[in-house]
Chain A
Amino acid sequence: MLQARTPEHAGSREQARELIGGLSQPLVGERVAVDFGPLLVPTPSYCDEIVKLVLQSGGAERLEVLNASPRARQLVERSAQNRGVAGRLRIAAAVG
């Protein structure tokens, strides 16, 4: 299982690329867990880029989202639907 943790202040696609780029590559067939707990302001761009890099272009077996706020969860789920990868998304625990 590969694991990443968001910083408090992050919202851009570039920051999502930095986060996921820090994981051991390639992601094909891997399980990836991203802890959204520290994130103060989830944005559509940030959440979407994580979904894209892990599940769509990355080809990971699964993206597990940990400690997501209701808004972060909503944005991640929407992006997974938009990109046709919702079947490989797991929301592990919600807070707030």
Chain B
Amino acid sequence: MGFDDFLRQIGHPALEAEAETMESSGVVVPLRSAADAGGEQAISQLLWDQLREYVDPQVLAALGEGVWGMVANALEHSGTDASVMAQVYRTARFGRPPDHDDKVQVVIGDVGRGIRAALASSPAYAPGSDVEAIELALEYLVSSVHEDPGRGQGLSTTAEQVGGLGGTMVIRSGECKLTVAGEERSAVAVPHLPGTIVALSLPLYPGS
């Protein structure tokens, strides 16, 4: 499955709204599973090495933090492997000065049990729907490992980092797709998707 197909499956807003004007810069980190890459460190390092030439250091750090967290979540909570892909998009032709619409997108996905089932495995939580489960998982220190007070930071801190740089995070799990853009959240019902996909989209040049 190509990157665009992957994003279309999750209905990524960049493709819905901007696909006609977006051109890839040709910087692509193809779909790789954590297992194939050699683990979460290897896949995070792969992403870092391939994007660092093109992406603002602040953005790269936020993406790195997000990928570490989302891959770790998938490996620990989904019961399956995690896959990662990334692409740099520019809104116009090469040689053009940096533009505030230029983006880097990273998608992390798994085909495991999904956020709702993962949280429901803890006696502390019983989300009644996928949207409730995703909203709950976005709260700081909410985790299926509820007995450890430091767990449950990944999704909330990733949303914080991405939002702080003007980016968006799309979480799709079960029958819900929830978009986080700064303080704003919107959820829509979607056909059932096994597992969880998290798509991070950040401007290449924050503040431009």
Contact = CB atoms under 8 A, between A and B. Distances in A.
Contacts of A52: 148, 150
Q: Which 4 A-B pairs have the closest CB atoms?
A: A11-B68, A41-B64, A44-B153, A48-B150
B64 A40 contact: yes
Nearest to B61: A41
A49 B68 CA distance: 14
B150 A41 contact: no
A88 to B, nearest CB: 15
Interface of B: 40-41, 44-45, 48, 61, 64-65, 68-69, 72, 141, 148-151, 153-154, 157
Given A41-B65, A42-B65, A43-B65, A11 B150 contact: no
Interface in A42-62: 42-46, 48-49, 51-52
Contacts of A43: 64-65, 68-69
Contacts of A71: 61, 65
27 contacts: A9-B41, A9-B44, A9-B48, A10-B41, A11-B40, A11-B65, A11-B68, A11-B72, A12-B41, A40-B48, A40-B61, A40-B64, A41-B44, A41-B64, A41-B68, A42-B65, A43-B65, A43-B68, A44-B65, A45-B72, A48-B151, A51-B150, A52-B148, A52-B150, A71-B65, A79-B150, A84-B149
Interface string A1-38: 00000000111110100000000000000000000000
A83 B151 CA distance: 10
Given A9-B48, A83-B149, 14 more contacts: A9-B41, A9-B45, A15-B41, A42-B65, A44-B69, A44-B154, A44-B157, A48-B151, A48-B153, A51-B150, A79-B150, A82-B141, A82-B150, A83-B150
Interface of B is mostly: helix
Nearest to B58: A71
B49 to A, nearest CB: 10
Contact of B72 (A12, A75, A84): A12
Contacts of B149: 82-84
A84 B141 CA distance: 14
A40 B41 CA distance: 12
Given A11-B68, A12-B68, A71-B61, A45 B154 contact: yes
